[in-house]
Amino acid sequence: MLYVVGVPSYKGAFGEEQATRLLWRAGFGPKPGQATELAELGLQGAIRSLTRPKSTRLLGPNPAVDGAPLAPRDAWGHDHLWWLDRMVRTEAPLVERMTLIWHDWFATSKSGVPQKLMLRQNALLRRHALGNFERLTLDITKDPAMLLWLNGTDNHVYSANENYARELQELFCLGAGRGYTEQDVRELARALTGFANDWTDSGPTRFRYVKKLHDAKPKKIYGKRGKFTWQEGVKLVTRHRRHPEFLVTKLWGAFIPTKPSAATVKGLIKLYVKHDRDVRPLVEAILAHPDLYDPRRRMVKPPVVQAAGMLRAVGRGIDSGAWAWLCEIAGQYLFLPPNVSGWDDSRWLDTATFRARWMMAQHICEPARLEPDKGATAPLDAGELVRQAVTFWGDPTLSGPVRAGLERYAADTLATADEPWKKKTYPVLAVNALRMLVATSPDYLTS
């Protein structure tokens, strides 16, 4: 990775705690032993292993519901389960996390698009995960799911539809009211005319560009005149002087919860432009930034990130359809963002959705429950009980107050064990309860 003027790099200790945070922010948390392995690579080596994975294979048993393979194009919830499985089993977690970031960025929903086209778009986003943003934007512009979602096939020379032209600028590339006018929206819409599709009894099909449906007359966009094609229209947006700042600050926010300094933004912009809008160098610089490793800058884990991370931590795959409705009531169902702006923390930061986080932990803890009457034992030691519960989740880092609270609970439980049968039973039951408390603690819900 290159040294970037104005963009500092983390110089502190890079141990398991820092590696764990990196794996949560740039993936879906560590599998058992993975944080230790990553820490041994050092900061730069760890980041390179994520941005340049040697393999994108999926390891482990294939997902199943009720003993049958998934049907992501047809069955309710199976599209969500299919992608969640990739997050759990992937050897390239950052590729999958970037796919999720782009899905949120170019938010498209199956509420108006057939599932098979949403899956096709998902593959497109994955291909561009760490690639060139301009090429991603060109491809997403002609993607069938996006053409349907934002009325691209309703935009033609006889009747322009401004929907995609507006969101391309406002949400995807520039930011609301930044460097464009209503006239630019109208003129850009004209440049983007020409896409069409057919309709059959089975739905939309045969998406294509039809030259005679394109408005070939001169347009004026951002003060420039020309008979712009749809590709030229997109490039006018991605080459707009306000685009790099929008891109780097929005991408920064996907990994770090606090705003970057002005100097950092300036350095990231230079890096982005120097590499002709490639995303990989930018992501590497953000993942190496000291702000990512500041323990005070914690981020709430999105529901699907937490669900995938919990399954990864305990070595369990998708073996139940419950993970679809659990994530849905937690506030995040894949392929169904709330609107064209995508998700934000308000979707899962309330008492209603928090209950689903508890239920997620329950769905993992219950099958692994320790049973005293089946031979399970645990020591009469509060600290050891907490240690065992934390180990169950892959040894996540806990703050002093959270660990102390867990140990108080364990000690209070043991203090009531005043008979031999209680001394045998209560410690085991305490471990079960502590596993739940760890998974629903503020330290585990954030990274």
Residues 6+ apart with CB under 8 A from 250: 105
**Cα–Cα distances in Å, from 185 out to 4, 47, 153?**
35, 39, 17
345 band by pLDDT with thresholds 50, 70 and 90: confident
pLDDT over 50 (residue 2)? no
The pTM of this model reads: 0.96
Count, residues in the chain? 447
Q: CB-based burial of residue 232 (10 Å sphere; 0-12 exposed, 13-18 middle, 19+ buried)? A: middle
pLDDT digits 0-9 by tens, 363-419: 999 999 999 999 999 999 999 999 999 999 999 999 999 999 999 999 999 999 999
pLDDT over 50 (residue 53)? yes
Residue 248 has what pLDDT?
98
Residue 5 has what pLDDT?
66
Distance CA 264, CA 206 (A): 45
Residues 6+ apart with CB under 8 A from 258: 291, 297
pLDDT digits 0-9 by tens, 72-117: 999 999 999 999 999 999 999 999 999 999 999 999 999 999 999 9
Angle subtended by helix axes 303-314 and 351-365, to nearest 10: 10
SS (H, E, C) 81-130: HHHHHHHHHECCHHHHHHHHHHHHHCCCCCCCCCHHHHHHHHHHHHHCCC
Contact at 8 Å (CB) between 388 and 377? no
pLDDT over 90 (residue 4)? no
Residue 446's beta-bridge partner residues? 300
Distance CA 58, CA 55 (A): 9
**Cα–Cα distances in Å, from 14 out to 47, 287, 293?**
12, 13, 9
Domain boundaries, the chain: 92-292, 303-445
Tokens of 48: 């390179």
Distance CA 9, CA 20 (A): 18
Residue 346 has what pLDDT?
86
Tokens of 354: 């928090």
pLDDT digits 0-9 by tens, 120-154: 999 999 999 999 999 999 999 999 999 999 999 99
Distance CA 233, CA 224 (A): 11
Tokens of 271: 């890096």
